[in-house]
Structures are given as C-alpha cells and as structure tokens.
Amino acid sequence: MSRLGALGARLYRGEVGYDFVGKRKIWYGISILITITAIVGLAVRGLNMGIEFKGGAVFTTPKTSVSADAAKRTAEDASGHTAIVQKLGGGKLRVQVSELTTQKSRTTQQALAKKLDVSPNKINTDIVGPSWGDEIANKAWTGLGIFMVLVVIYLAIAFEWRMALAALIALVHDLTITVGVYALVGFEVTPGTVIGLLTILGYSLYDTVVVFDGLKESSKDLTKQTRWTYSEIANRSLNSTLVRSINTTVVALLPVAGLLFIGGGFLGAGMLNDISLALFVGLTAGAYSSIFIATPLVAEFKERDPQMKALAKRVHARRAAQAAKADSTDPADHEADAPEGEGPEDTPPAGVVGPRRQPATRGRGGRGRTQGKRR
C-alpha cells in the first residue's frame, strides 16, 4: 500500500487526524480575507463583460499574414471602440469589437478587408444585440436561484437545516471568490463563464455531502454516550474523507489546468480561458470550503443546541474526573480498575476522536476457548 493509501486508512480509522474543527476561527479569518479581496476587486475593476452581454460584432478573417496588432489598430480606427484580437488555427484572426451599430460594423468589415487585401465577403461578421445578452444573464440568475433553493430543501430533508445552511454559505463563498478572481484577472465574461459558474456548484457540494453523510451516521445516538462531543465526531468524519476529497479534487483539476495554462496560455486558445478559469478557481475554492468551512460551520451551529451543550458538559466533566483520578492513583491500577471503554485512553488528543474499536479476534488452537472436542 502506498504512503498516501496508508495515511488514508489511518485517517479513516481515527488513528491520526488534524483538528480542522477546533481551529475553525483561523479558516474563517482566511476565508473572510479572501472574500473581502474578491469583493473589492469586483467593486473597483468590475467584470469585463463580453459582447454577448454588451452587444457588438465579431469578425473572423480568412488566413492572413497580417499581424494581430495591425488588425487591432485597423478595427479600432474604423469603429472608434476598443478591439480584441485572437489568433485562430490556420492563420485566421478573430476580431471582437463591443457596442457596434450595424453601420459601424460594415465600415469595420470593409476596413479589415482592405487591410488584409481580401474581398469584404471573405470576412465573416456576426452581430450580437445587447438584448440577447440580457436574456442569457436573466436565465442564468434564475437558474442559480432555483438551484440554491432546491439544494437547501434537499439538504434540509436528507440531513438537517444546519447542514443546509452551512452548505449554502459554502456555495456563496465559492461563487464570490470565483467572480472576484474574474474581476481581478480581467478575463472576459462570456456564456462559457456562466456555464462554468453553474458547473462548479455541483463540484462544490460533492465533497460536502460526502462528509455530511458520514457525520450523520456517526452522530446517531450521540447524546447517549459521554466520550465525545459533536465537534469531535464532526472532525473525525472530516478526517476520514480527507484523502478522498484531495484525490478527487486533484483529478478534476488536472484537465482543467491543462485547458487554462496550456490551451489558453501556451497555445493561445483564448476562448478556452472563460470556462477553464471559472472551473479552476471554483474547484479549488469548493475543495477548500468543503474541508475548512462547511463542516466547521455545522459543528458550530450544532454546538449551540441545548442537548449538545449538555453533552459537552458531561464529556468535559467525565474527562476531568478521569484526570483527577489518574493523578491521585497509580496509572496501572487505574487502568486495571476502569471498565472497558471508560479508561483515560478514551480522551482523544487534538484532532483525533480515537480509533474505532474492532471486535476481538479469537485465535485457533485453544486461544479464547477451552481445549477438547466439540460437542
């Protein structure tokens, strides 16, 4: 078994772990700082909306030896607006100019044709009206709202309202960071961006729901014992799925990183940037929120419940009594006198709830039973 696999097995059994829930204030502070930076970037720089939302024209040229800079200057001089030029395969150029009227688009088309020394009919022109972009934006907001409502309802029914609220906060956290990064980087917002934003919502919920499901099973009849608090159970559930969450996130990020850094950056396929950046940032933020935000929030909400407060008092009182008894007597005698499952070893260190108890294995050849023939 590999080291990572062995670590995952030990995390699952509760033999090792990290106190994610106990240090939740650190993660909250980091998230607040990142979120504020994203909001400030969004307020100061704003989003670079594509022509699908603002309206304009897209000119696709045939194969040409004219440079992208020369085509950009020609388009800007003819239209009076800023132009964005991208190189396409086969030596073609894609010239995008926002907020163009039909008359201005014809003038720009003719100027580009003259510069490229081709017929105007050889340049493909697509004109997009701003009303179409408004319709896309409205449908995206509607879809997002419906998705949020359905997620909250489902999680409240399948788990409980506290988990639904924590998952909703994590989703808003991921969307805010992704949109803020878009504003800071200055990438163009296109329908592909909207698709990427809606896609990351499912990825963001995946690991969260896995942890919540384990937490739901582990916390059954929790108030009937006095060994562990709810936060410790939540931390154990988080540690048991930690390696799985990291593996699935890395596997999902690898192809997205290839699109963003190799396809969009190295190969210059700029049209891949809009969806790949949204997916890359969203997947990263989703993995972070599933581990450091959602489950600690559930534990914090749950610990405010009167039953869980009473449980925590009983757990701490029992541990204090065990510590006092251990200090006043010989540790060996104390362990011998303590009932099974109630010794000082049951007090978990930070980040570890304690190993799961495995049933004792009876050996063959007389171990665990008397010798003699079976009757």
Whether 358 shows a pLDDT value over 70: the answer reads no
Give the whole-number percent of the chain exceeding pLDDT 70.
79
Q: What is the pLDDT of residue 28?
A: 92
How buried is residue 224: exposed, middle or buried, by Cβ count under 10 Å (0-12/13-18/19+)?
exposed
Alpha-helical (H) ranges within the chain are 3-13, 24-44, 51-54, 68-79, 102-116, 130-158, 161-185, 191-218, 230-240, 242-257, 273-289, 295-303, 306-328, 331-337
d(CA 166, CA 125): 48
Q: What is the pLDDT of residue 372?
A: 46
Whether 293 shows a pLDDT value over 70: the answer reads yes
Among the ranges given (96-110, 210-224, 253-267), the one the predictor scored with the smallest mean pLDDT: 253-267
Q: What is the pLDDT of residue 345?
A: 42
In three-state secondary structure terms, 60 is strand
Whether 54 shows a pLDDT value over 50: the answer reads yes
User: What pLDDT, in 10s, does the model give residues 215-231?
Assistant: 888 888 888 888 888 98
User: What pLDDT, in 10s, does the model give residues 174-201?
Assistant: 989 988 888 888 877 877 788 888 888 7
- Using CA atoms, how far residue 26 sits from 23, 96, 197, 241, 293, in Å, is 6, 45, 27, 21, 10
Q: Is the pTM of this model over 0.75?
A: no
Q: Average of pLDDT values for 141-146?
A: 83
